[in-house]
Amino acid sequence: MKRFFNEACDINTPDKSGVNENKLCFPPLKVVCQAPETTVKGQVANTNKHNVYSTKNSMYLLGFEEILNTVLDCEPHIFTDDELRVIENFKALDSDERYLFVRLFMRKRNKWFRVGHLTYPDCKDVIACCKQLVLKNFFEDESLMSTEEIIEILSLDELRSLARQTKVCGKSRSEISKEIIFLSKRQSVLHCNGQQFLSFDAFGVMHKQESFLRKQLLYQCKSCVKPKKILVDLFHRINIVYFRSSIYDEQSLTSLILARLNKFSYPNYVLSRTSNVFNCRAQCLEYVEVLELSKNLVPIFENTAASDKEALEQALNSFFEIYPIWSTYLNEDIREFWVEENRKVDTRLVRFSFSFRPGAVYTYLIHKSLNILAKSRLVEVEHEILDTLLSQNIYLVGKRGHWYNRKALLEYNFKTEDTNVLRYWKTLALSTCENGIEDKYTHLRYYFSLQRRLVRLRKCLKVSNTTELKSMKLINNNPSRLFLHGERIHNGDLSNRTVWRSKTNNAITVEELALQHYQSIGWEGIHAESSILLTLFALTFWDILFEDVPGVFQSPFQSAPLDLHTDSFYISRESTIMKRLEEIRNGKAGLIIKDNYIREHQRKTFCVGLNWSYTCEMLLEIVDCINDNGLAQIFLALTQDYKNSSSGIPDLCLWNPSKKKFMFSEVKSDNDRLSEAQKFWISLLISSEVDVEVCHVSMHKKK
């Protein structure tokens, strides 16, 4: 809860340039989100302020109850009668009891809390509330705690005190805990004087050490409670439904709470809460279940090392367990998707609703598992999976370019001594590259690698360029390079960040050292990375970001549409995006940016990627120096894949107003290499005729 407290009290509040697409909340059906009322002097009026004198008007309780009421009103069909009764029982609790349940529910899941350590000033009597919640079956008490759970919540000092009493060795928490748990399994009882003997109850039944130790442990920790698992699962499911979560997130109330405190002003847009995202209760349960599964499996699929044979085998077993389930869901969803398409239903709404199907999450898991198949060298299985993924265009269509590229690589590297078979596979790889480049869903970030592979294959197979492919613009993606020398300061920092000495003898970063050089030769510039481009993008595409697309605005507290980080964003707005890009090519970007900046600046509207610390004059100066076609290509990449394209943008943004020149610079110190994301941006910028160079900074050579 520390994070919630910090945000509520304006301590380390989130950067307004970021966005979490899952932390959103929802209003009634089809209303227009208006800007806050203004006072006579034009200042924003505080329309949502709550003075918290009791738990009845606590922002936590009000927000939680808004979630319950909204979901029950719009989607009651996904709950059983028993679940509805539980929710009604919750509503019937005293306000202090409801408040305390919500506060503990929002904290770490499946965690025990020591009643004596709970301090909530708004709650009149925490101890009495805990007792009532146990009696009313909302909380469990310490009688259900295991020995391991009791040990976990004791402080290190308390554990050491207990260790001295029971003659247990160990200094660290793990050592003492291990010894106490081992001791608890023994049958002889160890009294405080160190003497061991067998203990029997009144009926002659021998006690185990665990019973004796539990009493001592419980004496130390006193009363403990935690919300019942069945209730926690129910309310987390309601949260997922309410926030339309596409990842498993147990802390989703932040935006709602901050909005109630008037921390942020949100953009104006049309709101529309959908009530048919989940057709039935079973579909909702399956979706939530696979979200929880993905929370566990994605780190395994992403991080398992090829050298760890045991972990790799376990990851493979997980893949083979989910593969048949995914295949079944995929076939069913494909049939149902085309039925919906033929019904002339709005395609944008169909795609949005299908992103909350279990099949969508399973497809994401299969995509992530390709990493495990590659490390296991199961080439045939991986190739088959790639074929299956490419045979559908419902889920993860933005990854199609990646799948084409990987499939072509497997085909190109096929091992055989038969030259005819070898040529067949290379020809197949050639066809895969051509299909990938021609596929309308292939994003810019994958074009360059597919093009380079296609050129190599044509040369290898001695195939003439008989047909020119669309968007085929082969470029030399080698940027210009600058080599600088400086004095590096060894500050003992264990991080990878290097520290250098400035001209004024101050400690600075390697990017600041490079920026000093560029400024000395006439450039203006800042170390911005993605910040400048994302700010320009937000201001240029404001009306498109907040366009009335079905289903994507279900909250008055959104800084971005729900589908911005998905494939649907570009697909659902392709015509308006292309029209805006044409306007940018015709030199109208500055006018659009200026209009949006002037309108929104006073409220400092909370919009995805937008950093209000930049002045309008500086932004217009930068836009005036970038060639219009290059700016359009940069924005096209962001509309196609905002999530991934937001990373890898070069470090320094440099411009020269007098010469109307603009340049990006990626700064690298010793032994630092370009990432794949950085290589993509360098290729894109060069192909768009935007100047970019790599600045290598190294230490002065010793004489």
- What are the tens digits of pLDDT across the range 482-494? 999 888 887 655 4
- Pairing of β 113-114 and β 480-486: unpaired
Is 538 within 8 Å of 635 (Cβ atoms)? Answer: no
- C-beta of residue 436 within 8 angstroms of C-beta of residue 400: yes
What's the burial of 478, exposed, middle or buried (CB within 10 Å: 0-12/13-18/19+)?
A: exposed
Q: Which residue has the tokens 């004198």?
A: 53
CA distance linking residue 124 with residue 122, whole number of Å = 6
pLDDT beyond 50 at 168: yes
- Looking at residue 15, what is its pLDDT? 42
DSSP H helices in 244-280: 254-260
Q: Residue 51: what pLDDT?
A: 41
In sequence order, what DSSP letters do the residues of 43-73 get, joined into one string?
PBP--S----SSGGG-HHHHHHHHHHHHHHH
Query: What is the share, in percent, of the chain residues with pLDDT greater than 90?
Result: 58
What amino acid occupies position 368?
A: K
Residue 322 has pLDDT above 60, yes or no: yes
651 annotated binding-site participant: yes
* Of residues 676, 681, 647, the one with CA closest to residue 665: 681
Q: What angle do CA 533, 537, 542 make, to 5 degrees?
A: 155
Higher pLDDT among residues 184 and 372, named by residue? 372
Mean pLDDT of 301-318: 95
Please report, as a single letter, which amino acid is at residue 536.
Answer: L
pLDDT average, residue stretch 637-654: 94
Buried-exposed string 181-201: b where 16+ CB fall within 10 A, e elsewhere: eebbeeeebbeeeeeeeeeee
321 has binding-site annotation: no
From edge to edge, which strands make up the β-sheet containing 652-656? 480-486, 691-699, 661-668, 652-656, 524-527
Q: What is the structure's pLDDT at 32? A: 38
CA 25 – CA 30 distance, rounded (Å): 14
Q: What is the dihedral of CA 448, 449, 450, 454, to 10 degrees?
A: 100
- 190 or 581, which is more confident: 581
Q: Is 86 annotated as a binding residue?
A: no
Cα(167)–Cα(658) distance, integer angstroms: 80
Per-residue pLDDT at 454 exceeds 50: yes
Point out the least confidently predicted range of 250-264, 478-492, 682-696: 250-264
pLDDT for residue 269: 95
Q: Which tokens hold the place of 44? A: 């924003």
Looking at residue 1, what is its pLDDT? 33
In whole angstroms, what is the distance from residue 606 CA to residue 563 CA? 17
Residues 6+ apart with CB under 8 A from 522: 656
pTM summary value: 0.82
- Structure confidence at residue 258 (pLDDT): 62
User: Phi/psi zone of residue 110: left (φ > 0), alpha (ψ -120 to 50 degrees), beta?
Assistant: left
Selected residue with higher pLDDT from 569 and 166: 569
Q: What is the pLDDT of residue 465?
A: 67
Q: What digits encode the pLDDT tens for the residues 8-33?
A: 333 333 343 333 333 333 333 333 34
C-alpha distances in Å from residue 111, one per residue of 220, 222, 227, 232: 18, 16, 8, 11
Average pLDDT, integer, range 579-605: 97
Rounded Cα distance, 406 and 450, in Å: 10
**Residue linked to tokens 């260790």:** 163
- 410-436 pLDDT, tens per residue? 999 998 889 999 999 999 999 999 999
Q: Distance (Å, rounded) from C-alpha 265 to C-alpha 558?
A: 10
DSSP strand E in 553-660: where?
Answer: 652-656
Q: Return the structure tokens found at 613.
A: 């610390």
CA angle (672, 674, 676) in 5-degree steps: 140
Contact assessment for residue 322 and residue 366, using Cβ atoms and an 8 Å cutoff: yes
Domain layout of the chain by residue ranges: 2-138+228-264, 147-225, 281-461, 480-699
**How far, rounded to the nearest angstrom, does the alpha carbon of residue 373 sit from its chain's CA centroid?**
24
Q: Give the mean pLDDT of the chain.
A: 84
Instruction: Confirm or deny that 142 is annotated as ligand binding.
Output: no
pLDDT, tens digit, for every residue of 339-364? 887 776 677 888 888 999 999 999 99
